[in-house]
């Protein structure tokens, strides 16, 4: 799931301007720019030379606005604490804006086993699967990550990395319906609620294929673990029809948040974390729910790319271990509002933000978990055919 | 001997630059455009099979977006011309002491990021902006009509973003017109309109040609405006290339589309220059 700013990201200079007054919402609202400059940046080679990294630093490339941030000090409190505690200087880059785009940017270096400029990155499940398949992910030295046992049972054995040897979840993301409570006073809980007359022309769906098509498929009673090509294409046709008939105004990344606040969108297929921030900052003007027919869940995963040298790798592992400490995980979750993958974080949350400790959107209970679905992994051929169909349906 | 060599040596950096950053990439693009995916290979693995029908497939599949790109670019160019001509005329002939200041105002938007300017249009045309409620009050648009995510917004964004490229060449050529030719026209009993049609306009043609080219060419390949201000129904060929390249990881189709776009623009521009004449183009 591309969360936060997503693929249509800001150019570096635009980001610099907005960063100077950053709030998480502020950045979401300020996005929507494609990146001519982003593309240019993608052509540049990043790197401190082969091997990458050194004994005392770790370079982390993560999605924008995906780590606790203190606006007063302009620092990331948990990351600062990690550096102070371990003596490892952590360089944090909000450079991972979109799975496909990031892959396109670093793929050539990975192929040649050259430094990509990061010692640890956080691709989404399906992209992590691709990295593992192609041998671009290093196996962890498990001794360096004793806290890995804290991972939630439901996340401990994904098909792409059954023993979690080279990935660990950073955050989980739920896909569901978000809506404006004024135009949709009864809420949006079914696909029919979404395509209700008051939302005509004001619906935005996610550009993340597995969420948007996943939710449509679930509404058609299809199991995401066994979805066939016919079923998938059928759901894509459904979306294409809704675009052609003028129901859906856009297929977007995080910019849907901006459309909601500006009133251009009244109902969306969106992500949990974004929606809760929107709701809290707009006094209940927005709400989010998992569809009755089921929502999607996926994760972003820590991965250490193969070109990373031994020292930097060890540092990255210490960093991962640190974020699997329940107290630290709770601090992050209190800021990002996404699904926390760490056992024991809920108890810690009681102490720092009790109102969030019982949120099923951060700590899903059994009832919530039962409604969440994982999209099955696709073969390379499926990945490219399905993604092509999804792109064409949105006019690309 | 030395005399002959010097000019070539001076040209060398330019040639080296163009070779590295233009000729080589173009060759690479051409090579990629006829590749096909490796059977059973992973995402992004292609082999050279000289499949020239990639071009036909790519074109036929995306006719709509090609057509849209040229229609939008043409409308945006004409609108920009309509806005920029009086503007350039006023600055050049009536600007007086304020001339330089007015020119700075034309260039000022360049000091801000292209992307931010486009995002700003989204807010201007958005539900909470100034335009939509006003038009609704006057009754020009209905309660349910929105302006963002429409072709109107895309064309407006393009017109605005490329306006300086139209204004500056127009200004340069109008500024160069000798005012005495206009006086002479008046002396020969031509009225204002005739003077404009027979003297000013022909003399400013180099600016019109240069301005329309500088606007049309980037506009036809633009994708930022369509991405930010448009909807799935307003995607242009640039959006398709972006998505093929970065999202679907289908490099051959992206390369074939880029080449086709380049060739179509080249043909259109050649025809246009033939028709408009380039002798006066400086």
Which residues of B fall below an 8 Å CB-CB distance to A? 37, 41-44, 61, 65, 113-116, 118-119, 122-123, 126-129, 144, 146, 148-149, 223-224, 227-228, 231-235, 239-240, 242-250
Predicted local confidence at residue A32, as pLDDT: 35
Q: Which chain A residues contact residue B144 at CB under 8 A?
A: 200-201
Predicted local confidence at residue B278, as pLDDT: 57
Q: Which residues in chain B come in under a pLDDT of 70?
A: 1-3, 277-282
Predicted local confidence at residue A179, as pLDDT: 96
The answer to whether domain A12-171+300-358 and domain A173-297+374-393 are alike in fold is: yes
Across the interface, whether the CB atoms of B42 and A130 are under 8 A apart is answered yes
Across the interface, whether the CB atoms of B44 and A107 are under 8 A apart is answered yes
List the domain boundaries for chain A: 12-171+300-358, 173-297+374-393
How close, in Å, is residue A101 to chain B by CA atoms?
5
Q: Report the residue of A111, A260, A265, A380 to disrupt the B interface, i.e. the one with the largest count of B CBs within 10 Å.
A: A380
Predicted local confidence at residue A149, as pLDDT: 94
In angstroms, the CA A11 to CA B115 distance is 7
How close, in Å, is residue B257 to chain A by CA atoms?
12
Q: Report the residue of A8, A136, A261, A391 to disrupt the B interface, i.e. the one with the largest count of B CBs within 10 Å.
A: A391
Would you give the distance in Å from CA B132 to the centre of its chain?
27
Across the interface, whether the CB atoms of A33 and B148 are under 8 A apart is answered no
How close, in Å, is residue B43 to chain A by CA atoms?
6
Predicted local confidence at residue A12, as pLDDT: 43
Q: Which residues in chain A come in under a pLDDT of 50?
A: 1-52
List the domain boundaries for chain B: 59-276
Chain segment B168-209, per-residue pLDDT in tens = 999 999 999 998 999 999 899 999 899 999 999 999 999 999
What class is the A173-297+374-393 domain?
A: alpha beta
The minimal CB distance from B144 to the residues A201, A263, A393 is found for A201
Q: With respect to CATH, is domain B59-276 assigned 3.40.50.620?
A: no
In angstroms, the CA A285 to CA A182 distance is 7
CATH architecture for the domain at A12-171+300-358: 3-Layer(aba) Sandwich (3.40)
């Amino acid at each position: 799931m591309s969360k936060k700013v997503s693929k249509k990201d800001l150019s570096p200079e635009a980001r610099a301007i907005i960063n100077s007054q950053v709030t998480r919402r502020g950045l979401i609202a300020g996005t929507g720019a494609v990146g001519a400059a982003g593309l240019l940046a993608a052509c540049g080679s990043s790197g401190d030379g082969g091997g990458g990294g050194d004994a005392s630093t770790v370079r982390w490339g993560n999605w924008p606005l995906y780590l606790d941030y203190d606006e007063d000090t302009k620092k990331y409190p948990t990351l600062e604490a990690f550096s102070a505690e371990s003596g490892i200087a952590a360089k944090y880059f909000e450079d991972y804006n979109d799975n496909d785009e990031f892959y396109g940017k670093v793929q050539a270096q990975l192929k040649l086993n050259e430094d990509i400029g990061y010692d640890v990155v956080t691709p989404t499940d399906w992209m992590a699967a691709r990295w593992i398949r192609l041998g671009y992910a290093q196996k962890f030295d498990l001794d360096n990550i004793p806290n890995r046992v804290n991972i939630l049972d439901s996340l401990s054995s994904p098909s792409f990395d059954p023993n979690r040897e080279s990935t660990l979840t950073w955050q989980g993301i739920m896909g569901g319906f978000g809506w404006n409570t004024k135009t949709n006073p009864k809420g949006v809980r079914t696909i029919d609620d979404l395509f209700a007359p008051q939302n005509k022309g004001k619906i935005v769906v996610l550009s993340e294929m597995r969420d948007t098509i996943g939710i449509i498929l679930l509404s058609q009673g299809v199991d995401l673990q066994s979805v066939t090509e016919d079923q998938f294409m059928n759901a894509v046709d459904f979306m294409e029809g809704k675009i052609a008939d003028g129901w859906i105004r856009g297929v977007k990344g995080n910019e849907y948040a901006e459309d909601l606040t500006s009133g251009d969108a009244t109902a969306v297929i969106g992500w949990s974390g974004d929606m809760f921030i929107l709701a809290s900052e707009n006094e209940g003007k927005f709400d989010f729910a998992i569809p009755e027919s089921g929502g999607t869940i996926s994760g972003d995963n820590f991965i250490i790319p193969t070109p990373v040298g031994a020292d930097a790798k060890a540092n990255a592992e210490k960093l991962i271990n640190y974020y699997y400490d329940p107290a630290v995980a709770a601090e992050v979750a209190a800021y990002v509002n996404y699904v926390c993958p760490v056992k024991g974080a809920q108890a810690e949350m009681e102490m720092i933000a009790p109102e969030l400790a019982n949120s099923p959107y951060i700590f899903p209970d059994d009832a919530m978990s039962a409604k969440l679905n994982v999209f099955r992994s696709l073969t390379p051929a499926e990945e490219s055919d399905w993604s092509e169909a999804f792109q064409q349906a949105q006019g690309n | 001997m030395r005399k002959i060599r010097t000019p070539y040596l001076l040209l060398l950096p330019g040639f080296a630059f163009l070779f590295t950053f233009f000729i080589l990439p173009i060759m690479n693009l051409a090579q990629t455009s006829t590749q096909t995916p490796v059977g059973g290979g992973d995402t992004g693995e292609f082999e050279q099979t000289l499949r020239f029908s990639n071009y036909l497939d790519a074109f036929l599949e995306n006719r709509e977006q090609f057509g849209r790109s040229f229609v939008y670019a043409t409308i945006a160019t004409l609108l920009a011309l309509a806005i920029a001509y009086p503007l350039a005329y006023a600055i050049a002939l009536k600007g007086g002491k304020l001339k330089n200041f007015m020119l700075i105002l034309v260039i000022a938007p360049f000091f801000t990021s292209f992307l931010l300017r486009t995002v700003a249009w989204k807010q201007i045309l958005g539900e909470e902006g100034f335009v939509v409620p006003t038009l609704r009050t006057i009754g020009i648009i209905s309660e349910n009509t929105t302006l963002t995510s429409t072709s109107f917004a895309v064309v407006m964004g393009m017109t605005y973003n490329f306006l300086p490229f139209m204004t500056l060449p127009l200004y340069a050529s109008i500024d160069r017109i000798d005012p005495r030719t206009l006086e002479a026209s008046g002396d020969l009993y031509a009225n204002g309109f005739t003077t404009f049609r027979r003297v000013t306009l022909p003399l400013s043609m180099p600016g019109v040609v240069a301005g329309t080219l500088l606007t049309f060419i980037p506009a036809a390949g633009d994708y930022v405006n369509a991405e930010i201000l448009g909807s799935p129904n307003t995607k242009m060929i640039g959006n398709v290339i972006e998505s093929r390249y970065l999202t679907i990881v289908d490099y051959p189709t992206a390369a074939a589309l880029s080449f086709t776009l380049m060739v179509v623009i080249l043909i259109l521009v050649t025809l246009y220059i033939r028709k408009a004449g380039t002798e006066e183009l400086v």
